[in-house]
Structure 1
């Protein structure tokens, strides 16, 4: 009895070498900031391909540069963690822009315009530094009291230690609490398992930084205003977190008298030296910037 032939298998796409870069973001010395992997010329890769690469690099984020679908964008970027895709993230905005510029990218206008799942994000150049325009918050307002108590207990705090709290979600889902000092933030010893399922930022003021003026909007800020720590899903601590700083800046402007320019530090407990610079324009635009340092350049087989 004749049998039918098995269906022809679809051949897998042949891997090819694509330009690749790894950068340190929010630090001007190697191995002091938040690393980012960037795959350039990523057209033709599937979401599954991108997720596989992001799992392999095992960095907090890996980005993929694609042709734009919006005529107002210079390029499109997709952002993947080892476990999923993000609509927006901060240090990938700056690191991807630097990799694109270093590869010969030329913006159509005065500023670089990146297309991502959260929309069009502008990036401006200030000498060697880059800054992205903070996107609007998707969710704001105070946290539920039960959630505040859960976060405080997970961080080893009393409820009275929390001076303020809010949603500052611009895509990744950040919640934030404010403590009385940078020293208190640095001393936290969280029970990471109890933070599972939450993305929590914590900030506290550095000594002498509580006054209304830390910068005039033109000269560099000499002393950081805040210390920040960020705990992602599963309680993993992130070294330097641009999206969180963008949300915190929007919240701080409603909470305290703020100068037109200030900075914040992050990553000390992880052996990093992250520095994030915030500029608030009279128009309401907030720019979140810092140094970007290419550390690896070459190709990747995907």
Structure 2
């Protein structure tokens, strides 16, 4: 295995302005790209919902990024990108009030901006342009039933004003609009990932439309994500599409209450229809492999 001696990393908290809150993230800073197997094993070691690996990518504030859960590499994720941008501001623009960054995920360039909170040394707001959302046709009621059962829900927990629908800003989520019942929602289907694949979704996100609060899990149902930026963009687009929110409105989406880490994710569509997702970032700790 590639030697990892001296590899530096940071721990940051995302979607919060308070240390030891929000969604934790490990950010690794190798001098050159690591093999995928090494990154996967490091992600397992850190046991965060996701870890991100950054390497410089030419002149300017441009970095290559790769994101891993404990099970696999992802094409896109929200809280690692925002957390990485906040850390980059801390490391490379400490004397500036604001900064702009580009993170490359494969061939996709993601634009981010950061602002340092006044009076703080390690707390930032980060904002990401997720681009335009792709909305698939809504699921019918009969087709939706299998997914409700897979998430331990019944028709009484569904907000019948709105359909189940797959929406993506880089990672396709099956959005499940609930009217309460978040406390009982969980993954109970033994092959949930395969079931989601039948409608072109990677994960499911259950959210209370009125309360604007959501939950999601890994597809085995073993780990609940604290705050999910890659789902927040689709939720914002969904709310606008179905007339629950207005274009340009700043939407606050809550998540993490059920795992004791309440978090807030901000979502807004700009004038061009691009979905902006933002939240707080706290740089918590740094480490080095020996």
Q: TM-score, normalised by structure 2?
A: 0.82
RMSD, aligned α-carbons:
2.6
Q: Does 1:254 align with 2:236?
A: no
- Report the counterpart of residue 70 of structure 2 in structure 1: 82
The within-5 A match list for 1:128-143 is: 128-137=124-133, 140-143=136-139
Identify unmatched segments of 5+ residues in structure 1. 1-11, 207-224
CA change 1:124–1:190 in 2 (3 A) is same
Task: Between 188-197 and 125-134, report the one with greater CA deviation.
Answer: 188-197
Tell me, yes or no, if structure 1 residue 158 matches structure 2 residue 154. Answer: yes
- Figure out how many residues of one structure are paired with residues of the other and give that number: 267
Query: Residue 230 of structure 1 is aligned with which of 208, 216, 231?
Result: 216
Asked whether the 8 Å contact 1:132–1:288 carries over to 2, the reply is yes
TM-fit CA distance, 1:72: 8.1
Structure with greater Cα Rg: 1
CA distance in 1, matches of 2:187, 2:26: 29
Cα deviation for residue 68 of structure 1 reads 2.0
C-alpha offsets along residues 93-149 of structure 1, whole Å, 9 cap, x if unaligned? 111111222222599x96211111360111122443111112334562223655521
- For 1:32 and 1:110, the matched residues in 2 are separated by 24
Secondary structure of the structure 2 residue equivalent to 1:95: helix
Look up the match of 2:207.
203
* Residue 15 of structure 1, CA deviation: 3.2
Deviation at residue 191 of structure 1 after TM alignment: 4.8
* Alignment pair present for 1:291 and 2:290: no
- Report the 3-state secondary structure (helix = DSSP H, G, I; strand = E; otherwise coil) of the residue aligned with 2:149: helix
- Tell me if the contact between 2:152 and 2:188 (Cα under 8 Å) persists in the aligned partners: no
Using the TM superposition, give the Cα deviation of residue 289 of structure 1 relative to its aligned residue in structure 2, in angstroms.
0.6
Q: Hey, what's the Cα distance between the residues in 1 that align with 2:278 and 2:191?
A: 28
2:82 aligned to which of 91, 94, 100: 94
> What is the TM-score normalised by the length of structure 1?
0.79
CA positional deviation for 1:87:
0.9
> Cα distance 1:113–1:160, how it changes in 2: closer, same or farther (>3 A)?
same
Partners of 1:178 and 1:118 in 2: CA distance: 32
Residue number among 36, 55, 67 corresponding to 2:44 in the alignment: 55
Structure 2 CA distance for aligned equivalents of residues 139 and 284 of structure 1: 13
Q: Offset of 1:19 from its aligned partner?
A: 2.2
User: Which residues of structure 2 form unaligned runs of 5+?
Assistant: 117-123, 197-202
| Contact 2:135-2:165 within 8 A present in 1 as well | no
